Amino acid sequence: MTTDLTSIFVAYLAGNRAPNRDGPDRREAPTYGVTATLTDDVLNVELTFRSGFVYCCYEWGCHVSLHSGERWSWLREHLAEHGVDAPSQLHLKSTSLIEEGALFWDFSKSNPESEFVRVEAMQFEDTAEEASS
């Protein structure tokens, strides 16, 4: 059985704050595309960095804190709140899609928060395993 967890990830990601083109002191919720499902013990999450929108970076761990070898407490709390009975250990398959024209901080500049770089389309896939309870 597959359970759609997209709404949980949308709500979680809404708490992130990205740079704003109007100035480095202004932050806003990034505009991601996201889909997430749970099938047995496998969590599949696809995170899209959309063209024309600003992000700090495209590092998975910066945006979604699900690191291998850690207990994914925030996710487990949200799953429980939504009545999702999760297995004792989860396995993550993540896909990061970067649309051509997505904007990211240019950390090579002296003031990276005021300079952004457009990137070409890219895709990254990774896996992670939650620490056992």
Report how far residue 102's alpha carbon sits from residue 117's, in angstroms, rounded to the nearest whole number: 8
In the chain, what percentage of residues exceed pLDDT 90?
Answer: 57
Q: Is 63 exposed, middle or buried (0-12, 13-18, 19+ CB in 10 A)?
A: buried
Per-residue pLDDT, 21: 67
Q: Which residue has the higher pLDDT, 31 or 115?
A: 31
CA 11 to chain centroid, in Å, comes to 11
Own/partner long-range contacts of 105-111 (Cβ < 8 Å, ≥24 apart): 105/19, 105/55, 105/56, 105/57, 107/57, 111/24
